[in-house]
Structure 1
């Protein structure tokens, strides 16, 4: 595996699968029904896991990008993300126009690239471009003082500014919450902290970590069930990306994944994992197209919302597989074009 951190590949692939899983809830009417059945209650608990998709991506970014400095090469690399975004968005528009006879013109689709609406999942790209430009500054702040005390200060400030308001402001404003929308910075620094102190994290007692993880997750699940049972699901700051619930669950998942042992040799499974890990952004963007296609027919075939939950594993796996195949083809084409230009 060389210097590659296998655990981060696991984290990224898990995150992209969680994205498509949480979108199952969005696309099948989960947020429109009363939370009274067992399947709805299970959906509430699973959502606590799946909603960590974006936090896990950003934590992985912090882990991988923590040594990056400002340079011409660094700035140039953002253009690959932008090119991927444009290509996938236009493919998405073209395919949906052909299949669904959408009345969105090419002009509207091109204008939609500017406000990140042509691909309805592309808000993440809008966020990531800003985060990418900030990364050299965030890293400079982190490396200003290499003491652990200073790094803990950064994590504490991030937690107070971005995540704690969702815990204390449920019944009224207690903490200032102006900064909560800057939550990606908080997750980025969590990932950078994990990277900086990875060896210490590996020494954490696994049994103790599991006990704490199960206990905290059980408590959060209980609170979420109490808050939502018997009524339509309430999307609040507490269970949104800036919420303390995804924050805690994402940290626990990351710690558990980082405790996985590094494989001694590369297998076919590891190669597949690396392949998927390298394509996560493209898979994510293509999942807007695959979700649109699949749920258009699936929701007609299974009109009862409660009955749809039984099919969740099949539907999610199908969308994930199709999006991965589309991403693989596009990435291959781009790679060939790039190689020819270099030759």
Structure 2
């Protein structure tokens, strides 16, 4: 319910703010339809995915907890990787020679499909089961080693993507999508790095603890309302700096601004949500007692 209320408030903010910014007239019917079809907030597909995931989590847990031992759970994770992520690694190579296949795939219309990729959109389940496995068995990598591996893979992927798009317009590819092997490896290493941090000295009174808990509490709202500030700030940046490489110089300034504005807005929406929740609970108790 908290997730859905956050989505509703963020959608109302997004629709009203952007309609004023773009001078687009939005009637009541369009307003309601945008909320119902999860197009109210710019990144609301995330909520649509999560609602379904919340509903099937009990059954996912039955599958995971019904497995007998560590090897069977490793097999489950490996199966999910094979269905959702491995295709982004194996099904991206052309068959017109090694140089053309690796560095100039846009010039080849003959891409070799090695394994099926029908189930790759089950990637949220892959992440979920990896999380289940890490929660139960942990990871032997220390935070330092996982961070080094993260930087190493990030460098490798950077050169790989640059090579694949050299002298071409950047094109869509499965390996950097949500189900791709690049974000999966970097995401898991990031999670392991945070999971294995020594937090024994971080008490509830420290500023670091308060910052992390508050950001965690507001993260969904931050994500949903950030589309408003992305639209406004990046459109102005694009107009001011036509060159894409030139815009990179401003990202050190622009990204924190987008985050800060999104954080403040999410905090305001959270206060509204908490107030409404307390009012509803108070009225419910009053009605129940009378």
Q: Above 0.5 in TM-score?
A: yes
Aligned to 2:109: none
Aligned to 1:183: 123
- Equivalent position SS for 1:279: helix
Q: Matched residues in 2 for 1:212 and 1:258: separation?
A: 15
1:306 paired with 2:248, answer no
1:339 paired with 2:278, answer yes
Instruction: Give the number of aligned pairs.
Output: 262
Show the 5 A alignment for 1:265-284: 265-266=203-204, 267-284=206-223
Q: Matched residues in 1 for 2:142 and 2:238: separation?
A: 45
1:248 paired with 2:185, answer yes
TM-score by length of 1: 0.71
Shift of 1:143: 0.6
Greater relative contact order: 1 or 2 (C-alpha under 8 angstroms, separation 6 or more)? 1
Q: Matched residues in 1 for 2:214 and 2:119: separation?
A: 36
Shift of 1:209: 4.3
Instruction: Indicate how the Cα distance of structure 1 residues 259 and 309 shifts in structure 2: closer, same or farther if over 3 A, else same.
Output: same
Q: Matched residues in 2 for 1:182 and 1:104: separation?
A: 35
Give the unaligned 5+ runs of structure 2.
94-111, 283-290
Q: Which moved more, 1:164-173 or 1:218-227?
A: 218-227
Aligned-residue CA RMSD (Å): 1.9
Q: Matched residues in 1 for 2:9 and 2:170: separation?
A: 35
Q: Matched residues in 1 for 2:19 and 2:42: separation?
A: 14
Structure with larger Rg: 2
Give the unaligned 5+ runs of structure 1.
1-78
In 1, are the aligned partners of 2:147 and 2:190 still within 8 Å (CA)? no
Q: Matched residues in 2 for 1:166 and 1:116: separation?
A: 28
Tell me which stretches of 4 or more aligned residues in structure 1 moved more than 6 Å: none
Q: Matched residues in 2 for 1:210 and 1:301: separation?
A: 36
TM-score by length of 2: 0.84
Aligned to 2:135: 195
- Equivalent position SS for 1:153: helix
